[in-house]
Structure 1
Amino acid sequence: MGLMAREETRTRKSTTVRGPAATDAPAGDAPTGAATRAWATRLVVVGIVLSAVNLRPAITSLGALLEEVRDGLGMSGSVAGLLTSVPPLCFAVFGVMAPRLARRFGPGAVVCAGMVAITAGLLIRPYAGGTAGFLAGSALALMGIAVSNVLMPVIVKRWFPDRVGSMTGLYSMALALGTAAAAAVTVPVTRTLGGNWQSGLAVWSVLAAAAVLPWIPLVRDRGTASAERASARGEPSPPLRITRSRTAWALAVFFGLQATAAYITMGWMAQIFRDAGVSAGTAGLLLAVTMVMGVPLAFVIPRVATRLPHQGPIVIALGVCGLAGYAGLYFAPAGGAWAWAVLLGVSNCAFPLALTMVGMRARTGAGVAQLSAFAQSTGYLISIPGPLLVGVLYQHSGGWGLPIALMTGLMLPQMAVGVLAGRNRTVEDEAAR
């Protein structure tokens, strides 16, 4: 309770944003207005959690069945590497559109549409026929993920300005839970459905469809939508040249390098273990362990980060875990598999840390939206070559030595720029100089 109180006091002092939950109602309608706001706030919490759960199964379910998909579609190693590079490409291309769409339609409506796109993409891609159709269906799902990725910090900042750390932690924990669940149960579910990889991938569309439901009343509720737009118009939004901010660039590069590590892990780690002699089911469980480490840590790290004036020590600790995990994969991939899975899972918690820093490095909701779009779109562009290079190096070297060396080499600059991004300053101040 003391931690929560300190966090709320500190956040109230550092932001002037008032989200829809804090919109004033006329005096005569105070009880009704308060009840409506409370109802809408609870619905937003449910929507945030369900949406976050659906932001990674499209990727980790494919990682668990990548060998079966490659065989079924006749993919080479290089094409499979391209497939693992599609997520960051879509996140970069479509994520940059999110702030403009949110200003026009409202963040809730855009996230609702994103969940619809995820549902459709997951249902279509296994049955589209051929590699091109599979890529197109994946791109549709990833488009929905992209806009939701960018707008989640915006929704948290707008609806919960006094609880950024706690709500970011809840959102990150739900995301990690969905990621781990998809990695853990995709192979067993596929076996239950007769061993058909198409059914094993398509089943995740049901969970995505459930995430659409909480946003529908918010989209149809004109009062809530109007409050969101009024809040957006009421925020001071002077011209912000985000590219003038060194912190914004450092955060974008940090985001890109941690995304590179995460998507290489999600796309290839199970295959590394399988090539070392680990069974397919156990390899899926090891990937799940890596993902599930983010469930508790994704809730704890944002709250700890908001208490620190500088997030550099957290960046260093996560990076050291990553370096140790890569060393283990190189020297004893099967012998110490569970330990390496845990260490890489801890290292992957750079993602919730990056999301938290997005909320901390800007003072206003408009600044968060701009910083989130810039950091994520630029970061995902940076991350595109990584998974593809891993596939190419694996195919041409015939082993995992060079890919692991690449992963290790990328972790060092990730730690350096993360320390720079963790400094206590805001992009508004830097861009105004």
Structure 2
Amino acid sequence: MTPTSHRTAVTPTPRRTAAATILSIALTGATLRVAVTSVGALLPEIRAALHLSDAAAAWLAALPVLIFAVLGAATPLLVRRVGPRGAMVAGLLVSALGLVGRALTGSAWVFGLCSVLALSGAAAGNVLMPGLVRRHGGQHLGAATALYTTALALASAGAAAGSTALATYAGWRGGIGVWALLNVAAACSWLPLRRPQERRGPLPRPSRGRLPRVWSRRVVLITAFFGFQSVQSYTVFGWFPTLLRDTGTSTPEAGTLIGLYAVVAVPVYLVAPRLPPARLRIAVLGLGLCQIAAYLGLIADPAGPTWLWMTLAGIGSGSFAVALHLIAGAGAGAGSTTSISAAVQGSGYLLAAAGPLLVGLVHGVTCDWAPSLVLLCVAAVISTSSGLGSLGQKAPMS
């Protein structure tokens, strides 16, 4: 066999490979939050059907970030056994199984277990996507990253708005179960992308720096920035559909408003991380003020211009992209950045789990959303202050 024929046998045409890569990245990015936003949009119906208490509903809203923190950290163990592509396909299929299972069950306990399955695939995707984008994106890393984060935001919006619309015709079970098809499509899209290099040698391992090297003052501030921003985002996805409906918004409109929250953050995702440090500080401050204004608006006039409050909150949620940008620049090299990323995201998501849980419990005790919105104002202040503080710290030299 000649070298040319050997290359032809193992390498697909560049154009087909590029098209398959774009499809896989977009579809997988689209799956990463649908398990969260589809349930939040229909939480009142799910609570009524499964007879969930206030405490159980609060735990259900907090479950995504708990799973992201715990099972996301275990993903490297799966990668060492089956490789990144195999781990991604397995995660997507397990998530699809969970999405179908919780749409079919009538048991609250089984619903919770199936939610763990559905979210575990998303947890693996959160960890794997940056590496797979780097592996398959080649010289177009920036464009590939923008593609999957944009797909994530748009699908989050689609799941929030689409679930309520589908529930009108197929009930809440159809509204949350249909998204399993997206996971199956994403899993199938990775199958043609096997690369010979994936089996050549062991997977790189993150460096094992000592705690003092990881937990610098700057990294602690970035963790607080990331964690308290996630507190707000996952509280919005988990509880705001219920909050909006309690203030007189219809079910379809509440889903649309959650979709609006996700969509308006997309321009911030694309622009903010590219700003120079001085302008980035102004952006972090402005994004934080948008969130605080949104929560105060909902307290002062909950039945007023809810589209304005949700737009402001959504714009402010774009600080999530700034947090990821700060994580990427926090290490002196690739190895230390991997260790810092694992520490920040693991600790940040554990911190974020307290948000939906506490908000749900406070509302259950007070039967009023104002105290919960005050808690979100506090989270926004801490997040913004931490982000500004981290920008004031010098990055390590590579």
Question: Given the two structures, how large is their TM-score scaled by the length of structure 2?
Answer: 0.90
Query: Deviation at 1:311?
Result: 3.7
Matches within 5 A, 1:62-101: 62-101=39-78
Other-structure match for 1:312: 281
Other-structure match for 1:340: 309
Question: 1:97 is paired with a residue of what secondary structure?
Answer: helix
Question: 2:303 is paired with a residue of what secondary structure?
Answer: coil
Write the letter of the residue equivalent to 2:96. T
Matches within 5 A, 1:193-212: 193=170, 196-212=171-187
Matches within 5 A, 1:125-136: 125-136=102-113
Give the Cα–Cα distance (whole angstroms) in 2 for the partners of residues 116 and 341 of structure 1: 33
Other-structure match for 2:319: 350
1:177·1:294 contact (CA, 8 Å) conserved in 2?
no
Write the letter of the residue equivalent to 1:188. A
Query: Deviation at 1:164?
Result: 4.7
Q: Residue 145 of structure 2: which of 165, 168, 172 is its match?
A: 168
Q: Cα gap change, 1:285/1:376 in structure 2, threshold over 3 Å: closer, same or farther?
A: same
Matches within 5 A, 1:248-263: 248-263=219-234
Other-structure match for 2:348: 379
Give the Cα–Cα distance (whole angstroms) in 1 for the partners of residues 397 and 82 of structure 2: 25
1:258·1:351 contact (CA, 8 Å) conserved in 2?
yes
Other-structure match for 2:297: 328
1:118·1:208 contact (CA, 8 Å) conserved in 2?
yes
Which region of structure 1 is more displaced relative to structure 2, 81-90 or 105-114?
Answer: 105-114
Other-structure match for 1:226: 199
Question: 2:302 is paired with a residue of what secondary structure?
Answer: coil
Percent identity for Structure 1 against Structure 2: 33
Which region of structure 1 is more displaced relative to structure 2, 239-248 or 149-158?
Answer: 239-248
Give the Cα–Cα distance (whole angstroms) in 2 for the partners of residues 257 and 78 of structure 1: 22
Unaligned runs of 5+ in 2: none
Q: Give a deviation string over 1:278-314, Cα, whole Å, max 9, x none.
A: 2122112111111121233323334x24x54774333
Question: 1:214 is paired with a residue of what secondary structure?
Answer: helix
Which region of structure 1 is more displaced relative to structure 2, 308-317 or 56-65?
Answer: 308-317
Give the Cα–Cα distance (whole angstroms) in 1 for the partners of residues 395 and 139 of structure 2: 17
Give the Cα–Cα distance (whole angstroms) in 1 for the partners of residues 124 and 395 of structure 2: 24
Q: Cα gap change, 1:98/1:427 in structure 2, threshold over 3 Å: closer, same or farther?
A: farther
Other-structure match for 2:126: 149
Unaligned runs of 5+ in 1: 1-25
Q: Give a deviation string over 1:100-146, Cα, whole Å, max 9, x none.
A: 43344322222221111211110111223311111100000111111
Other-structure match for 1:277: 248
Write the letter of the residue equivalent to 2:148. Y
Other-structure match for 2:214: 243
Write the letter of the residue equivalent to 1:329. L
1:98·1:373 contact (CA, 8 Å) conserved in 2?
no
Write the letter of the residue equivalent to 1:176. A
Q: Cα gap change, 1:376/1:276 in structure 2, threshold over 3 Å: closer, same or farther?
A: same
Other-structure match for 1:5: none
Q: Cα gap change, 1:238/1:258 in structure 2, threshold over 3 Å: closer, same or farther?
A: closer
Other-structure match for 2:155: 178
Q: How many residues align?
A: 394
Question: Given the two structures, how large is their TM-score scaled by the length of structure 1?
Answer: 0.83
Matches within 5 A, 1:394-405: 394-405=363-374
Q: Cα gap change, 1:314/1:35 in structure 2, threshold over 3 Å: closer, same or farther?
A: farther
Give the Cα–Cα distance (whole angstroms) in 2 for the partners of residues 270 and 340 of structure 1: 13
Which region of structure 1 is more displaced relative to structure 2, 197-206 or 33-42?
Answer: 33-42
Other-structure match for 1:420: 389
Question: 1:277 is paired with a residue of what secondary structure?
Answer: coil
Q: Cα gap change, 1:403/1:349 in structure 2, threshold over 3 Å: closer, same or farther?
A: same
Q: Cα gap change, 1:365/1:148 in structure 2, threshold over 3 Å: closer, same or farther?
A: farther
Write the letter of the residue equivalent to 2:126. N
Question: 2:32 is paired with a residue of what secondary structure?
Answer: coil
1:81·1:392 contact (CA, 8 Å) conserved in 2?
yes
Matches within 5 A, 1:262-301: 262-301=233-272
Query: Deviation at 1:46?
Result: 2.2
Give the Cα–Cα distance (whole angstroms) in 1 for the partners of residues 279 and 131 of structure 2: 22
Question: 2:342 is paired with a residue of what secondary structure?
Answer: helix
Give the Cα–Cα distance (whole angstroms) in 1 for the partners of residues 199 and 397 of structure 2: 27
Question: 1:240 is paired with a residue of what secondary structure?
Answer: coil
Give the Cα–Cα distance (whole angstroms) in 1 for the partners of residues 323 and 344 of structure 2: 9
Q: Residue 192 of structure 2: which of 217, 225, 235 is its match?
A: 217
Q: Give a deviation string over 1:351-383, Cα, whole Å, max 9, x none.
A: 222223333334654444333322211111011
Give the Cα–Cα distance (whole angstroms) in 2 for the partners of residues 311 and 243 of structure 1: 24
Give the Cα–Cα distance (whole angstroms) in 2 for the partners of residues 419 and 157 of structure 1: 29
Query: Deviation at 1:31?
Result: 7.9
Write the letter of the residue equivalent to 1:417. S
Query: Deviation at 1:321?
Result: 0.6
Write the letter of the residue equivalent to 1:216. L
Q: Cα gap change, 1:425/1:288 in structure 2, threshold over 3 Å: closer, same or farther?
A: same
Give the Cα–Cα distance (whole angstroms) in 1 for the partners of residues 363 and 76 of structure 2: 38
Question: 2:209 is paired with a residue of what secondary structure?
Answer: coil
Give the Cα–Cα distance (whole angstroms) in 1 for the partners of residues 337 and 5 of structure 2: 34
Write the letter of the residue equivalent to 1:204. W
Give the Cα–Cα distance (whole angstroms) in 2 for the partners of residues 182 and 107 of structure 1: 26
Give the Cα–Cα distance (whole angstroms) in 1 for the partners of residues 55 and 343 of structure 2: 29
Give the Cα–Cα distance (whole angstroms) in 2 for the partners of residues 280 and 286 of structure 1: 10
Write the letter of the residue equivalent to 1:135. G
Query: Deviation at 1:222?
Result: 5.5
